[in-house]
Amino acid sequence: MPAPRITVVGSINLDLVVRCAVLPRAGETVSGATLERFPGGKGANQAVACARLGAKVRMVGAVGRDAFADEALAGLREAGVELDVQTVDAPTGIALITVDAEGETTIVVSPGANTRLTEFELPPADAVLCQQEIPDDAVVAAWEQASGLFCLNAAPARRVAVDPDLAIVNRFELDSLAHTDGIVALTLGAEGAVLLEDGAEVARATPPRVEVVDGTAAGDAFVACLVVSLLEGRDQEEALTRACAAGALAASRLGAQPSLPTAAEIDTILAR
17-41 in b/e form (b: 16+ CB < 10 A) is bbbeeebeeeeeeeeeeeeeebbbb
Q: Which of 15, 126, 214, 220 is catalytic?
A: 220
3-state DSSP assignment of residue 164: coil
Burial class of residue 231 (count of CB atoms within 10 Å of its CB; 0-12, 13-18, 19+):
buried
Q: How far is CA 60 from CA 100, 152, 186, 243, in A?
A: 32, 15, 26, 23
DSSP class per residue in 34-69: EEEEEEE-HHHHHHHHHHHTT-EEEEEEEE-SSTHH
Spatial distance between the Cα atoms of 97 and 95, rounded to a whole number of angstroms = 6
Assess whether 220 carries a catalytic annotation: yes
DSSP class per residue in 76-130: HHHTTPEEEEEE-SSPPEEEEEEE-TTS-EEEEEE-GGGGG-----PPP-SEEEE
Dihedral sign for Cα atoms in the order 30, 32, 36, 42? negative
Positions marked catalytic: 220
